[in-house]
Amino acid sequence: QVQLVESGGGLVQTGDSLTLSCGLSGRALQYSVGWFRQTPGKKREFVAAISYTGAFTRVAEALEGRFAISRDNNKNTVYLQMNSAVPDDAGTYHCGANAEYYDVSDELDAYRFWGQGTQVTVSS
C-alpha cells in the first residue's frame, strides 16, 4: 500500500514563504517523490522531485532559486519550501510517488501514486 498526505497549504501574501509537507506511509517510504501543482483547466505542472535517499533533487527551471525540496526519512516526510511567493504560485499542490528509487523525473506519468493535494492561495 502506498499513501501520501499533503499538508501546509493556505493563504499567503506575495513575497511570503510557505512550507508544504508530504507525509509518506507504506511503500511510499522507499520511493522518489515529486511535487506538482495544478490550477483549474490546466495540466498538472512539475515543481520539484527528490530521490529516495535525498541524494538527487530537481526543481523546475522556472522555479529554481525560489523553491526547494527536501526530505526527512526519519519523519517520513518530504517538504517543499516556497519562497518569495507570486500569484502564479497559487494552485493545488500534489505530491506523487515514483517507484524508481533514484529517479527525479519531471514527467507526470512517472508517478503512480498521489495524495489528495493541498491548496495554496497567493494574494497580491
DSSP 53-117: SSS-EEE-GGGBTTEEEEEETTTTEEEEEE-S--GGG-EEEEEEEESSTT-----GGG--EE---
Residue pLDDT, tens place only, 103-118: 999 999 999 999 999 9
Band the pLDDT of 31: cuts 50, 70, 90. Answer: very high
Task: Name the 3-class secondary structure at 32.
Answer: strand
d(CA 85, CA 19): 11
Residue pLDDT, tens place only, 34-76: 999 999 899 999 999 999 999 999 999 999 999 999 999 999 9
Mean of all residue pLDDT scores within the chain: 96
Cα dihedral value 59, 65, 66, 69, nearest 10: 40
